[in-house]
Copies of this chain bind each other. A is one copy, B any other.
């Protein structure tokens, strides 16, 4: 097994910065790949131990290329997630002044985050899309454009300097990344975990999806993501990528998954892993009747009833 992590490249992007926040990344070789698909395929074929890719952001929602890769093909599992706040720096060649800037470049995904800033400070600058923010920085280094929007961390790599930092039109702009590997035992529960699954409905009838969600709701389990994805069987046919609170070793989650397994056409388990948005102490108590203790005690009681001892 290679001690390496594939990630969505190129180097010098937010993905790499997010990946480096994981302690285990320090002991792996980090290899950029040109697409989510190629990074995940590297894991599937054993070229990499795991892959690190974006899965959700506050502007686009679920990132469909990643979700579609997890939904189809050989099964993979999510082991970790990282949340990264996204703010941009305006990178220029040393000595460039704001008034010198005629062209700016970045990945198109950056545009919603910098549009208002541009309107205010560089209303006449011409926008050129780049394949990545890192690529935009490279093209500024090469003199093709005057300025790039990228992470501040990219300045050093490309010999640029940041004329402005902390640029973000939307407060709370964040991207969520996941570390994906081949199926294995999930990470141990921490008390603040989430579980990801993909659900395919057995048939389509009024209330079908409501009943699926009911398997979570009746056990007091909150949902954090519900993203429909086409099944490939024609327009209007969807499966559902769901992130739910809790760990598969929590009884309420295990029972909900069993219920889904019974009523769905298919369920794909994508893993249980620590939540990046809260620590164990921050998780509210589960709804009465849904704690592990209550599950164990109820199972004991039924066993005693089955035996006639109560």
Q: Which residues on A are within 8 Å of B, measured CB to CB? A: 56-62, 64, 75, 77, 83, 170-176, 183-186, 202, 204-207, 209-211, 213-230, 232-238, 248-249, 254-255, 257-259, 261-263, 267, 269, 277, 287-290, 294-295, 297-299, 301-302, 305-310
Contact = CB atoms under 8 A, between A and B. Distances in A.
Given A174-B235, A209-B223, A287-B206, A302 B60 contact: no
B262 A290 contact: yes
Contacts of A307: 185
Contact of A255 (B61, B255, B310): B255
Given A172-B233, A183-B309, A261 B228 contact: no
A228 B62 contact: yes
Contacts of A216: 206-207, 210
A290 B232 CA distance: 29
B209 A298 contact: no
B295 A75 contact: no
Q: Top 10 nearest A-B pairs by Cβ distance? A: A207-B217, A172-B234, A262-B289, A261-B298, A184-B308, A210-B213, A258-B298, A185-B308, A263-B289, A269-B305
A225 B236 contact: yes
Question: Chain A contact residues: over half helix, strand or loop, or mixed?
Answer: mixed
A56 B170 CA distance: 27
A214 B210 contact: yes
A223 B213 CA distance: 14
Given A75-B310, A249-B306, A262-B295, A61 B254 contact: no
Contact of A232 (B170, B175, B206, B306): B170
A75 B211 CA distance: 32
Nearest to A195: B305
Nearest to A243: B236
A248 B161 CA distance: 57
A262 B218 CA distance: 11
A61 B228 contact: yes
